[in-house]
Amino acid sequence: MQLPFFLALGLDLSNCYPGTINLDIAPLSCVKTSPKRTFSAVKWHPSEPAEDFSFVECIVPRHGNASGWIYYPHPETKPTHFQPGTVIELLLPHISGLNYGDQMEIQVPEDQMDFI
């Protein structure tokens, strides 16, 4: 439901699968430092409040250097969204053969996100 709103703001995600891959990076957590794109007060749902979203570039080398985004809905603007701080959401093209529980390596520009 959010894709047309992001497209109108200049971010075309049409090459991405219409769902996220939830990647648990425990025991690490991430701190977004300077995301490639941030959108504030996006009113994408008729009955929910507007939300803020950030997008950080990423590459998945083991899967043909698939490139996409770490999708970060700001939790402070989405109070009903509860997700562990060690889980990041990835928007990527469809990756054949990827299964629940598989390990995945991602590469992220150091200036966009830190892992601690």
**Lookup: tokens for 17:** 């699968």
Coil, helix or strand at residue 63: helix
Return the pLDDT at 77: 85
> Alpha helices, DSSP H only, in the chain?
3-8
CATH architecture of structural domain 3-115: Beta Barrel (2.40)
Return the pLDDT at 78: 77
58 strand-pairing partners:
68
Return the pLDDT at 84: 81
Return the pLDDT at 109: 94
Domain boundaries defined on the chain: 3-115
Q: Which regions in the chain score pLDDT beneath 50?
A: none
Return the pLDDT at 32: 76
| CB neighbour list of residue 5: distance below 8 Å, 6 or more residues apart | 42, 43, 44
pTM: 0.90
Return the pLDDT at 81: 67
Q: What is the CA radius of gyration of the chain?
A: 14
